[in-house]
Structure 1
Amino acid sequence: SSFSCSEPLLNVFYENVIRSLKSNSADVPTDCPTRERMGWTGDSQLFFPSASYLTLYAPFARKHLRDVFDRQWRSGRLPQIAPYNAEDWYMATMNGSSGWADVGILMPYYFYKKYGDERILEEHWEGIRRYALFLLKRQGKWGGVYAKPLHLKRKYARYAVNRGQSYGEWAEPVDVKAFYWFDFASPHPEVSTAYTAHCLSLYLEIASILGKEKDALFKKAEKGAEGAKLAYQQLRKTKAYPLDTDRQANLVRPLAFHLLEKEQEEYARKRLIEAMEHYHWRIGTGFLSTPLILGVLSDIDPDSAYRLLLNKECPGWLFMAEHSTGTVWESWEGQLGQKGTASLNHYSKGALVEWLYAGMLGIQVEGENHFALAPVIGKGVDWAQGAYSSIYGEISLSWRKEGGKVAFRIKVPGNCSATFSYKGARRELPPGEHDFLV
């Protein structure tokens, strides 16, 4: 695949992402090729949507998922690292961490949506089902001395997740959320309840795709998913986890997963823009929410997404590019992060590439032999072009601003069709080349 645009530093960052992906894809999706060299499942699940635009990622992802489910415990719990590789003893309790172990539902789902291949769901159905049961059993349980009271009514608390050590958002900028050792011991109920609601909803969708609605677990999962969503809504009304916050991740996550009541959602959208202003339009998310933030901002206001994307101060993607090491950094602060131990070749924060294809270019697979083309165009970029080598053939799209309008050039592969939409304009495109102004 290919991508370029009028902002040179974004082109540099794109190339850096490709180098980090290549150097961390030697049989296992490693976090970095120099230090840990482990298949961290949080990194792999959040980067799959980007990797599958950049490369033919299906064979690699299929092998990784087999490694993941090979480590599944009898309880249904899934690992933080796959395959097993020198986990220190104190890390064992981190297996099952929300956002990491969720790879067992998220990656098969992403795989199916991108490639339309039900076989990945069929192959891992039993493992997916066991993990969903693990999620259900964890709801409402006490999490030990490091689990702070949630102050929720019993009917909500029984579906919240305040048990199991987890990483939380992980690796936010130091001035947003500095790391402390007890962060490893906390269940991170805001993150864990959100991911439980989201993953159980995707489990139900997977079950429906496979015709498993009559499975004994289906009704329980429906109740668990809805209960977790309601618990999350109530959790965000407490003093400990308010929506009135400048932590971008805590606003992006519920908006991306559609977890909030209508009034809460309207407030969170406005509050996110305020949070961006307060942080001077620099990025303040960590591992889990970085892939989500541009999509969320695009839904609020495309210019806001572009303003964040094009920020050149630290922390920011273009700051990384301007001080380029040729690869993507683990910490937004580069080698100064994590007291000098942070990796300088860590692909996870390069997960914005998904948005470059699905957002800026607007290219998305929408069923067999069909694409949705809905480019998001904002201030600061004058032109963009790219091509995605899908399993149905290469589809390309370029746009250029011309005197108040936008000129589009699109090539749809043979035996395919595409639905184009931009600012109210809509066209059904057959195979071939198409040039027009909107």
Structure 2
Amino acid sequence: MTNPLDDADFLTAPAPRDCAIRFFREVMPDRPRDEIQAAELIATALGIYEATIDGKPISSSVLDPGWSSYEWRLPYQTWDVTDLVREGVGPMRFELHLGNGWYRGNLGFEGANINYGDRIGVCAALRITYADGSLQTVLTSEDWSARESETVRNSLYHGQTIDARLRGAGTELPVEILDVDRARLFAQISPSVVRHESIRPVRVNWTPSDDVLVDFGQNLVGWVRMRVRGPRGTRVIIRHAEVLENDELGTRPLRAAQATDVFVLSGEDDVFEPTFTFHGFRYAEIQGWPGELDPDQLEAVVVHSELHRTGSFECSDLLINRLVENVVWGQRGNFLSVPTDCPQRDERLGWTGDIAAFAPSAAFFYDVADFLDDWLRDLRMEAEHTEGRFVPVVVPDALKYAHYDGDFSFPEIGPTAIWGDAAVWVPEALWRAYGDRERLAAHYPAMVLHLESVRRMLSPDGLWERGFQFGDWLDPDAPPENAAAAKADPHVVATACLYRSASFAAEAATILGLEDDASQWTDLAQTTRRAFQEHYLRDGRIQSDCTTVYALAIHFGLLDETDRAQAGERLAELVRVSRYRVTTGFAGTPFVTWALSETGHIDEAYRLLLERECPSWLYPVTMGATTVWERWDSMLPDGTINPGEMTSFNHYALGAVADWIFQVVGGIRPLEPGYGRILIQPRPGPGITWASAHYTSRAGDIDVSWTLDDGSFALVTTIPDGGLAKIVLPNGTTHHVTGGTHRFTQSLSSLAEPG
């Protein structure tokens, strides 16, 4: 198939590394502009680009073409620019503004200095169709001109410097051509990154250092847009941070990321918007502002991939409502081109473990089908090209290009549980949510790669006891300096995860009609289950005897009925002994409330969810958090920042409890993939007297609301037209209904714990 950019050149120019480049050309239309019937622009870049026609942006998107596994997959975008090219008369001015982005971004932590290449480049084709059917095509080529732009510094981590005095007056540059393999180009799948709402300051104060401190009231991802007028050459400096410490910006969690934008004034009315970077922040410190600052001159622009909201939840506990919104904001900030761990420090990488834990929750809040499908295609390419053919811990796998300053080096990591299991668990979440068989087939080869890589790591006993494991990462009892020092035996965790992955791979193979594969993955799952029981289970106790191992064994289905009941009792006991504080890390947190409710301990699950003392889901909310933290105690009770090196205030992984909140408290679950049939089964518990949940499924809108009032339970649910639903009331009574609104009541005296 012919690629629309096959005949267009990738343009570059020998500009200073920090400087963004403007490529431009004036084009005379073949016919009068009012005879233009249609026009489209196709473009991509090694770096990030912005395109304008006659000075007007061709789209609302930013940071195009986003981040991908550039070595094998480079998306191009197609924009309808008909209205833009019709406007005016005479020649059109076509400009492409090119920055470093992720391609030449010095990415990574500990001075990793990760870059995909030394030279950035941009490629575009403008195709104009006239009323008489004639076609005019304008391609990037050596005929274009280039100059240094007013953006004299651009870095995703460090920020952007815009010198308004240089607008239209940058140094001219010779245009050069990059040789790029066109086989890697493909039409964009993932939604573009766009500006969403803008937020005005809620508070403007002066810091002890006599700088202006602006609080936007919400930890967000994006940048500050400002309107300002002052003497020519005045430098206005904006530093960003998520939290305050001692009434100053808390910048230590940023590590090496400077997160600083600089604006040099022209002397006239200036509007600045640093669109070649992004920051994770709630607070902005401004230095050098000319005169008195009017808060209306500032706004925080929220930026993330364009996703359609599908799910919402509310209940009688306001802190739970804030927790759910914190999870939403965490997803928004970290679903920026790829699913990242954090949006603020010198990292922002596509850690596979985070999204493995969070994918089911993500699919409730937003339609993530295209976003995660695209990322999974990168995952497959990275796994296929990794020496040893295993899933890397970050996708795109930028870490393979690390050149660390000093003595630090990232350890060699092979197949890992949870992180590698993203190859299976993320497609599983998408299958449950959307029921897309074609995409399941596209993701299945990466499942195979992962399981084959793990099979090579198994001991003779069939246990996953070889190789590095993150284990129950960020167990709250681990010391700040050693996030892997968890209570849960990492091999118990890994073997449990293997069982879950092999089980779903067998299900996927069956769905896809791959009988031999289904048989081998079923055999692997059964062998793993037997090995787990034989070597890790003794008299109803699981090796390392902590909440995480019981949560995984119960929820993944590793135990027979008697052992499962005993494990449930032990899990509930551990939760009570811990006074309902959370004692799990990345591995156990998504599943602990599930395991409790599935074994008849709904009261313990609710009390665990509603606990406010640290560590708990609600402790950060009581501390004013507006996103989910990386650590349960990223901020200590005295208002100081956790001393650990990893202390982000915007991580979604520990917010994976939202999946349980939706499905168990809210009561909306799929009985079939894609909600072909629906299960409505809210499970009320102590501390919440009403709840409502909404989900826009592929089958249509689903609504549930329930109340506990005056000695009775009342449920109202709306099922999509033509839909089939099974309603299970708290006493176990079952009803089968079709589309429409249905109401049920029962006396509280008849409530019983369903099995």
TM-score (norm 1): 0.89
- CA offsets per residue over residues 110-134 of structure 1, 9 Å max, x none? 2112111111221133332232222
Structure-2 residue corresponding to 1:357: 662
Letter in 2 for 1:221: W
Taking the aligned partners of 2:633 and 2:485, their CA distance within structure 1 comes to 20
> How do 1:207-222 and structure 2 match up within 5 A?
207-215=509-517, 218-222=518-522
* Correspondent of 1:188 among 479, 490, 504: 490
SS at 2:721's partner residue? coil
- CA offsets per residue over residues 297-324 of structure 1, 9 Å max, x none? 1122211111111111101111111112
Taking the aligned partners of 1:54 and 1:28, their CA distance within structure 2 comes to 17
Cα 1:92–1:6 change in 2 (3 A) is: same
Given that 1:3 and 1:384 are in contact with CA atoms closer than 8 Å, whether structure 2 keeps it comes out as yes
Offset of 1:18 from its aligned partner? 0.9
Taking the aligned partners of 2:739 and 2:560, their CA distance within structure 1 comes to 42
Given that 1:164 and 1:187 are in contact with CA atoms closer than 8 Å, whether structure 2 keeps it comes out as no
Cα 1:182–1:341 change in 2 (3 A) is: closer
* Correspondent of 1:383 among 690, 706, 717: 690
> How do 1:119-138 and structure 2 match up within 5 A?
119-138=438-457
Taking the aligned partners of 1:237 and 1:413, their CA distance within structure 2 comes to 45
Structure-2 residue corresponding to 1:105: 424
* Correspondent of 2:374 among 63, 70, 73: 63
SS at 1:418's partner residue? strand
- CA offsets per residue over residues 84-139 of structure 1, 9 Å max, x none? 22465743522421110111111112211211111122113333223222222221
Taking the aligned partners of 2:677 and 2:594, their CA distance within structure 1 comes to 22
Structure-2 residue corresponding to 1:167: 470
Offset of 1:331 from its aligned partner? 0.4
Cα 1:437–1:30 change in 2 (3 A) is: same
Structure-2 residue corresponding to 1:307: 607
Given that 1:252 and 1:292 are in contact with CA atoms closer than 8 Å, whether structure 2 keeps it comes out as yes
SS at 2:743's partner residue? strand
Offset of 1:338 from its aligned partner? 5.7
Once the two structures are overlaid, the 10-residue window that deviates more, 85-94 or 55-64, is: 85-94
**Within the alignment, does 1:339 sit opposite 2:339 as a pair?**
no
Greater helix proportion:
1
**Within the alignment, does 1:425 sit opposite 2:733 as a pair?**
yes
Offset of 1:360 from its aligned partner? 0.4
Structure-2 residue corresponding to 1:413: 720
Letter in 2 for 1:323: M
**Rg larger in 1 or in 2?**
2
Aligned-pair identity (%): 29
Taking the aligned partners of 2:679 and 2:634, their CA distance within structure 1 comes to 36
SS at 1:191's partner residue? helix
Cα 1:243–1:62 change in 2 (3 A) is: same
**Within the alignment, does 1:82 sit opposite 2:395 as a pair?**
yes
Given that 2:379 and 2:446 are in contact with CA atoms closer than 8 Å, whether structure 1 keeps it comes out as no
* Correspondent of 1:44 among 355, 366, 369: 355
Letter in 2 for 1:50: S
Offset of 1:196 from its aligned partner? 1.3
What's the RMSD between the two structures over aligned residues? 2.4
Offset of 1:55 from its aligned partner? 0.5
Cα 1:169–1:179 change in 2 (3 A) is: farther
Cα 1:95–1:120 change in 2 (3 A) is: farther
Offset of 1:179 from its aligned partner? 5.9
Letter in 2 for 1:55: Y
Runs of 5+ consecutive residues of structure 2 not aligned to the other structure: 1-310, 636-640, 747-755
Taking the aligned partners of 2:505 and 2:663, their CA distance within structure 1 comes to 24
Structure-2 residue corresponding to 1:147: none
Letter in 2 for 1:5: C
SS at 1:255's partner residue? helix
* Correspondent of 1:231 among 514, 531, 549: 531
* Correspondent of 1:14 among 321, 324, 329: 324
Cα 1:253–1:182 change in 2 (3 A) is: closer
Taking the aligned partners of 2:414 and 2:472, their CA distance within structure 1 comes to 16
How many pairs were matched up?
417
Structure-2 residue corresponding to 1:145: none
- CA offsets per residue over residues 265-287 of structure 1, 9 Å max, x none? 23211111111121111111101
**Within the alignment, does 1:267 sit opposite 2:566 as a pair?**
yes
Taking the aligned partners of 1:286 and 1:18, their CA distance within structure 2 comes to 20
Letter in 1 for 2:378: D
Structure-1 residue corresponding to 2:744: 436
Letter in 1 for 2:458: Q
Cα 1:404–1:396 change in 2 (3 A) is: same
Cα 1:244–1:29 change in 2 (3 A) is: closer
TM-score (norm 2): 0.53
Cα 1:182–1:281 change in 2 (3 A) is: closer
**Within the alignment, does 1:318 sit opposite 2:637 as a pair?**
no
- CA offsets per residue over residues 156-208 of structure 1, 9 Å max, x none? x431111111100101113x677648869x99211111111221111111111
User: Whose RCO is larger (CA < 8 A, sep 6+)?
Assistant: 1
> How do 1:196-215 and structure 2 match up within 5 A?
196-215=498-517
SS at 1:415's partner residue? strand
- CA offsets per residue over residues 4-58 of structure 1, 9 Å max, x none? 1100100111111111110111101111101110011111111110010000111
Cα 1:418–1:223 change in 2 (3 A) is: closer
Taking the aligned partners of 1:338 and 1:31, their CA distance within structure 2 comes to 19
Letter in 2 for 1:437: T
